[in-house]
Amino acid sequence: MVAQEQSVSTAGVGEGGESGVAAVVVLAAGQGTRMRSATPKVLHSFGGRSMLGHVLAATAPLDAGSTVVVVGSGRAAVEEHLTQVAPDALPVVQDQQRGSGHAAAVALAAIPDVQGPVLLVNGDAPLLRVETVTALVDAHRAAGNVLTVLTAEVQDPTGLGRIVRDAGGAVRAIVEERDATAEQRAVHEINAGVYIGDAAALRRALAGLGQDNDQGEQYLTDVLARLVAEGAPVGGVPAAEADDVLGCNDQRELAARRRTLNDRVLDDLMRAGVTVVDPMTTWVDVTASVAADAVLQPGTQILGSTSVGPGATVGPDTTLVDTTVDAGASVVRSHCLGAEIGPDASVGPFSYLRPGTRLSRGSKVGAFVETKNAEVGEDSKVPHLSYVGDATIGRGANIGAATVFVNYDGVAKHRTTIGDHVRIGSDSMLVAPVTVGDGAYTAAGSVITTDVPPGAMAIARARQRNVAGWVGRRRSGTPAAEAAAAAQSSAAAAGEGRSEASGTDTEQ
Ligand code: UD1
Ligand code: CA
């Protein structure tokens, strides 16, 4: 995903912030074999964040004293990613993937001084919401539990751990599907893979975990039954929204989670007054923002830190990455990266704006124009077929069709400066570094290599010569020669036979 990851602060304040949660532990060492991908599972991204990034964003507001991420498979990549998205998080290595229980034990061993409530969460729960996590923490505290697990009633529990309750409704165990009886498999309340438990109790229960199950792994889920056996109070709290707890184990689930998250984002935008013409083909990252009365046309992607202002129109078929679109601007069938599009500016169709592009109020970048590190002043226009790289263009200027800002000498990039109200003729080459002064003109087809003073007309092209009668002599018998002959004879008949204007040439 091209979107810029946004850093999620997991910096805590000592014992834990207002939530009272002492630590957050994210389990992210698993291989994710079912993804069948060289990319570690938790680094697969959608909606503007990696899966791990989404989980960290959902738990960051707890302001826990420490955040630990258990890494293993693909650990170098995951650790590198963490330095970008959550530099305060502590990566802890689980050398061998011996199960989620083993991963939790390794994490807690890395924070030996932590006491009190610890939130444990699977790294592949990207739809988890802050509200859901907070509700779990609150319920846990209110019940005075030693361990509380987040659960959900789902239509299809296939592959998930089942919540086993007794006749009175008390949670007794979590049983993995592959170890479950037929009766247990019929249960639709599943383990979401999010738990809050007392650090000391977790350490004690994890230390005694066996691996007597179908996979021969240490299951974090077994901690619950062990605590029940001790007589400790445990609970299971259903998530308000079943969507929140959906895991992500293969590419089909990844696509489904992406869709669900996007639907949520679009719902929020539409509730806030954004017009989304076709929600099926409009994608907006959680890290982007769109103001009321903006219109998103079909086939639009609003990615990264992009912000779209009120009354702006984006699309159809447009991708904006880390781009600002101010009020009333329009961007049609274009691709924009790191650009700033000013109020009432117009972009497209078919424009490519690259980083450092800054379009001022009312300016225009039109069809088949590429820009990079370019400032286009107020009401200036680059309407057609141009490359504008490393340029400053003043206000009210017009850059003729097929102008190239020749910014690269093969070794270094150079800048071009265009003054206010300049008129650059079509098919001009502006060979940087070069300056065209205020109010100057350049003639079409010119290669401008030296500065043009304000108000001058620069002409830098070969003078035209016409070789009279060439077609009749060298291409006789062709339709062109016949057409020329006919034109010449009717001109002669009209008495306008004096053809040899100055500059014509009879040689060759
Ligand atoms: C797990 C739960 C299951 C629950 C489901 C929810 C267990 C045993 N089962 O199943 O009850 O319904 O999540 O999605 O936990 N991990 C490590 N190290 C390991 C093994 C796993 O860090 O050695 C991490 C994984 O990266 C993952 C999490 O632990 O984030 C859960 O492991 P996974 O293999 O995905 O378990 P599930 O089969 O999905
Ligand atoms: Ca999983």
Mutate to test the pocket of ligand 1, among 44, 122, 185 (most ligand atoms within 8 A of CB): 122
Report how far ligand 1's centroid is from the alpha carbon of 226 (Å): 18
> How far does the centroid of ligand 2 lie from the alpha carbon of residue 249, in Å?
6
Which ligand is nearest the CA of 246, by number?
A: 1
Res 14: pLDDT: 45
| Helix, strand, or coil (residue 396) | coil
Neighbouring C-beta atoms of residue 277, cutoff 10 Å: 15
User: Rounded to the nearest 5°, which phi and psi values hold at 5?
Assistant: -75, 140
CA 83: distance to chain centroid? 18
Q: Which residues approach ligand 1 with their CB closer than 6 A?
A: 27-30, 70, 72, 94, 97-100, 102-103, 122-124, 160-161, 174, 176, 190-193, 219-221, 247, 249
**Which of 12, 96, 93, 94 shows the shortest CA–CA distance to 56?**
12
Interatomic CA distance for residues 305 and 316, integer angstroms: 20
pLDDT for res 18: 81
* Count, residues in the chain: 508
CB 208 within 8 A of CB 225: no
Strands 324-325 and 307-308: parallel
Which ligand minimizes its atom distance to the CA of 29?
1
Best CATH choice for the domain 23-245 from the list 3.20.80.10, 3.90.550.10, 1.10.3210.10, 3.30.70.141:
3.90.550.10
Residue 181 sits at φ, ψ, to 5 deg, of -80, 165
Residue whose pair of structure tokens reads 């046309």 in the numeric block: 297
For strands 457-458 and 346-347, give the pairing. unpaired
Q: Work out which ligand 1 atom sits closest to the CA atom of 220.
A: 15
Kindly list the domain boundaries of the chain, sorted by start residue: 23-245, 251-458
- Beta strand 45-46 pairing with 49-50: antiparallel
Q: Per-residue DSSP letters for 303-356?
A: ETT-EE-TT-EE-SSEEEES-EE-TT-EE-S-EEES-EE-TT-EE-SSEEE-TT
Residue 24 burial by CB count (10 A; 0-12/13-18/19+): exposed, middle or buried?
A: buried
Return the C-alpha torsion angle 362, 385, 299, 288, nearest 10.
-50
Query: What confidence score (pLDDT) does residue 9 get?
Result: 64
| Distance separating alpha carbons of residues 417 and 392, to the nearest angstrom | 5
Residue 23 Cα to ligand 1 middle (Å): 19
* Distance between Cα 414 and ligand 2 center (Å): 52
Which residues participate in catalysis according to the annotation? Answer: 384
Cβ neighbour number for residue 7 with a 10 Å cutoff = 15
Q: Which of 24, 25, 27 to mutate to test the pocket of ligand 1 (most atoms within 8 A of CB)?
A: 27
**For a substitution probing ligand 1, which of 100, 160, 162, 212 has the most ligand atoms within 8 Å of its CB?**
100
Strands 358-359 and 381-384, sheet pairing: unpaired
pLDDT of 3: 40
Residue-wise over 192-207: b if at least 16 C-beta within 10 A, else e? bbbbbbbbebbbbbbe
Tally of CA atoms within 13 A in the half-sphere of 328 that contains its CB: 9
CA distances from 297 to 192, 275, 332, 353 (A): 36, 8, 9, 19
Using CA atoms, how far residue 253 sits from 43, 286, 396, in Å, is 15, 19, 52
Name the class of domain 251-458. Answer: mainly beta
Determine phi and psi for 375, rounding to 5 degrees.
-105, 125
**Measured on CA atoms in the order 216, 217, 220, 223, is the torsion positive or negative?**
positive
Evaluate if pTM is beyond 0.75: yes
Report the SS3 class of residue 131. Answer: helix
Which mean pLDDT values do the consecutive 10-residue runs of the chain (508 residues) have?
52 63 97 92 97 98 96 96 97 96 98 98 96 97 98 95 97 97 97 98 94 90 97 97 92 97 98 98 98 98 98 98 98 98 98 98 98 98 98 98 97 98 98 98 98 98 96 98 97 71 48
In DSSP notation, 438-479 reads TT-EE-TT-EE-S-B-TT-EE--SPPP-EETTHHHHHSTTSH
Between CA 455 and CA 470 the distance in angstroms is: 39
Torsion over CA of 462, 467, 471 and 474, rounded to 10 degrees?
A: -100
Cis preceding linkage at 233, omega within 30: no
Provide the 8-state DSSP code for 5.
P
Ligand nearest to the CA of 105: 1
